Structure 1
Amino acid sequence: MRILLVEDDPSIAEGIRASLRQGGHAVDHVTDGGQADAALRDHGYDLLVLDLGLPGLDGSEVLQRLRRRGKGLPVLVVTARDGLAERIRVLDLGADDYLVKPFALSEFEARVRALLRRVSSQGKPELQLGRLRLDLPGHRAWVDRRPLELTAREFGLLEALALRADRVTSRAQLIEALCDWDQELTDNGLDIAIHRLRRKLDGSGTGVRTIRGLGYLLEELADAGDAA
């Protein structure tokens, strides 16, 4: 999943970013409200983690602009503003959840999983293609009852393909899903990830097919050799 983190405190941002990346997510980080508003207009995200007390635009204004554009992107507000009236105000503006600083990273991670569970595959936390099954919030995959041992990047690649299993996914879409602004993914890096994923899917009845000039398609295979 691709997440936008809007936080101007470097130490808090680094802890959140490390936690999200460890969970297999691509994270873009900005430090003021204007940058956040621009990123939300120019890029697609699965979750927004938003501080309120920001330079430039206040986080509340970022949230209002997002909702005025008709975007249903889930928003987790993380802020030091602790008060019932403030919580109600922000939730009424369109936030999906509200977490007061300081907080335990384990609670933050649980809130993130809950929000992503709502939107994964149009509200379905699991995807299945033939014998292959994915638990999206848990970042786990199985073939029948056998767990697949996947790196975070390999799972992200499999997830991006599985969410578009009925259509071709371009290389640009895969790179967008797998990288963030601080960790660029090269074409060669994508080729390596696809090669490793194909090897781990070998014998599963599901493969990654190359559609020349267009991209890749995750599909059930009559013959595992068709994945090449």
Structure 2
Amino acid sequence: MSVKATPKQGYREIAAWLLERCAELPPGSPIPSELQLAEMFGVHRMTARHALETLRAAGKIERRQGAGSFTAQPPMHRDEALLHSFTEEIRRRGEQPSSIVIEQRLGILPERAMLMGLDPRQPLVRIYRVRCADDIPLALEASYLPGELAQAVDQDFSRTSLHQWLRDAGYTPAKATGFISARLASDRESRLLGQEPPTALLVEARIIRDRDDRVVESTETAYLSSRWAIDTSASVDV
């Protein structure tokens, strides 16, 4: 790769050149590093970094911790009216879902139990995972199950769908209520997602009930905002 460098070019010119490169390359392609851009354009590394941050803020590139910068993957769209698990969503897109289990335990969590409409003295199962598509981290997910499903602690959810396990246990997820918010990831969350901070997250909180109207799961899924979109529809009440 070569480019005719003009001394003292500003970050806008570098960003424009990078934007053209992103349009030519397939998603996930590596792009020049700060040092490479600085040498190519004859600028300070801070200028090159500013150009890269401009494209990242626009959702055109992803900066993966310890790996470099890559052209961004297109966002994944999901219909808000349909209840699909992460595993089902990823498979529908022809990709391979997997998880990295960070924590899986049984414990007393009074506030979470009350949120689920359960006895605050009842233990809950907490499963905290990094959710991946084709081994690329996309989201962080904390799932909470009623204590009557304590056997979930002994299951391997790195490759197994939690919702499929619930179905097999006789608790078929049927409906969900919740809300969506946005926030910045903590430094630890950015590291788990392999991103350089600041990292914007789209957070979906849901309470899921089965066909018998029993609460079977409370979940908070923090998606990389550049990789996830939720489709909505509405009509005017005339």
More strand by percentage: 2
Query: What TM-score results when the alignment is normalised by the length of structure 2?
Result: 0.22
Query: What TM-score results when the alignment is normalised by the length of structure 1?
Result: 0.22
Q: Which has the larger radius of gyration?
A: 2
More helix by percentage: 1
